[in-house]
Structure 1
Amino acid sequence: MTPLEQTHGLSDRARDIARRVESFVRDTVVPYERDPRQDAHGPAEALVAELREQARAAGLMTPHIGADGSHLTHREMTAVLIRSGLSTLGPVALNTAAPDEGNMFLLGRVGSDELKARFLAPLVAGDKRSAFFMTEPAADGGAGSDPSMMQTTCRPDGNHWVIDGRKAYITGAQGAGVGIVMAKADEGACMFLVDLPDPAIRIERVLDTLDGSMPGGHAVVRIDGLRVPASQMLGEAGEGFKYAQVRLAPARLTHCMRWLGACLRAQEIATDYTCRRHAFGKPLIEHEGVGFMLAENRIDLMQAELMTYWCADVLDRGDRGTTESSMAKVAVSEALMRVADKCVQVMGGQGVTADTPVERVFREIRAFRIYDGPTEVHKWSLGRKIQRDWSKRA
């Protein structure tokens, strides 16, 4: 049984959505992979709009959120988002991509009715993209993997708050219509919703990065005197980290889902290549050095899928899943890196060209090992938890 055949524990509705998403990505999205409206900073806005029109026509825009605002379970989302990731353009077309998917989840959980109507509705409709402004430049001593180092400040001014600071690696900031900005006040971290563009938020530059599948790329941003009505703060002053935690574990896991789909596709392409390509009198796959790598990939893919479903079940039980999502993020990202690397290797010279998506998947997965916390930070955090648990028993 291959991972894409597994739909255990799903409602009939979720199975149907997953089936339709897979067909849509394979039949409609994949032909766009060679579309010239893409560069190192991601697909152009015109390409995004065209893909989303196709998704709307298929009745698959934001397939994990119902018309009544209800969410699929995390287990059901796993089946759907894996399939959306079969093309690197799939999540963009279907509106299941980061950071929008995580931002929609957060606003759906903690936003007031007024904030949902103003900021969430256009995101769910796919009419706007969003950006999450948390990470800061290392040169400024700002927040990276340690959010407590945040340097961006906010201060009350009448019925507004004024925000100043710099942010870095802000995915999709260029072209976004909605921003979630984190800053620190005397009370602690705060989180604000803002309309974009805003003259007080200036993109200094869009970084040239290894990956290139996300619209708008990753930007360095300066915030000078941004005035935000107090009504656009999520919760109360000092509760920013609390709300960041709501988003944290599910967002880690949906990264795993999407990139698992990408690596399943890379494995398909590498398998097809090695079964058709002959060398030394037989198909490449019959050489143990090649066949063994694809066998190891099959094992890694199955383990990654099972780890993702396991963590999804933890979240569906209502647990925060902080530890479990750290474990899944490490295990899945490292396994998928091995898979992507072997797919490139067994395809030889063809594997390092852009003639197939395998080369792009390799680059995207390498960046995934950094997204939402590098492997080493998660291991360090898990090590500390192991020590704390021991202390409680000692």
Structure 2
Amino acid sequence: MLRTVTLLGATGSIGKSTRAVVAENPERLRIGAVVAGRDVEALARVAIETGASFAALADAAAGPALAEALAGTGIASGAGLPAVLDAVARDADIVVSAISGAAGLQATFAALTPGRVVALANKESLVCAGAAVMARAAAVGARILPLDSEHNALHQVLGAEPISAIRSMTLTASGGPFRTWSAERIAAARPEEALAHPNYAMGAKITIDSASMMNKGLELIEACFLFGLRPDQLEVLVHPQQLVHGLVTFRDGSVSAGMALPDMRVAAAHCLGIDGRLDAPPARFLDLALSAPLTFERPDLARFPALGHAIAALAAGGAMPAVLNAANEIAVAAYLERRIGFPGIAALVEAVCAESEAARAAPADVAEALAIDHEARNRARALLSRPPFAVT
């Protein structure tokens, strides 16, 4: 059966991996609609190469340029949030949600329609509104499959086992480019150093999150909602080889590991192969005999305090994960603009969370999640204009 895929975040790293899997399986998969942020040339190229019928950019001002780039191709186009939601509403069996940041929340929520599979790589959808997203999926009969490599590995390891059989789950982390650096050296890290991830080629924001280990904290929060676990059932291990992506410890003491090469096409193939596994090229298979020794270590929260802040937000619950995410997005942008140093990312997140209402309830819908996000961003921007964050 030929499945139609709508690809949100078509020009990013996950979009590239998804496109590769579709291209390898033309008898089972086709791309119907593609969505990106603001890169007109890249999206037009992707739309033409994939044979998409519709292309949309989130940037409303880019509409005329996109239409011009696609003139004569027969591919319809649009721009702005209405166009993104139009893409989501079009017929599709699978929607890949890979728009980075809180911007992907509305599109992900809209993608949850009866019978659909949503391959979720936008972790912020669950961080900002996890309870609402999961409740909506259950109510309409949509199926959420995790596209992040760690959550996908855990999902595969869990199989048909009930959640009640689990003692704990472990997400692995590469440790990022600063895994072996001293606290003093990390404090002086320049953006180009933080962007040098040892294993993956990703977008700037998620790469900085990997360097601070905030990305792993966001993934812990995401896992809580995906698998229905308590915060104390989740932990992180640093595993620089990135061959073991997740571990499930069962109540009887047995441990199962999800393993694969550090290649996002593996997780994408699993999510897209909803009616049976897809074949991968020979180069995508793991050969343990040729692999370096596998090592594991506990994360150092003193050198990577952002992870600790995420763990605290998960424990606090309510709206705090959404606040944490919003503050982090502002902090990462400020760091990339060289307005704050690397330690300023975690410090700003901590300050915004400290000023937030600890008892505020989790958002019940997208509107509430976006309101919380907006408030936290404004708080973060205000703090950036004052000492110790403001540059004088």
| TM-score calculated relative to the size of structure 1 | 0.27
The answer to which structure has the higher helix fraction is 1
Bigger Rg over Cα: 1
| TM-score calculated relative to the size of structure 2 | 0.27
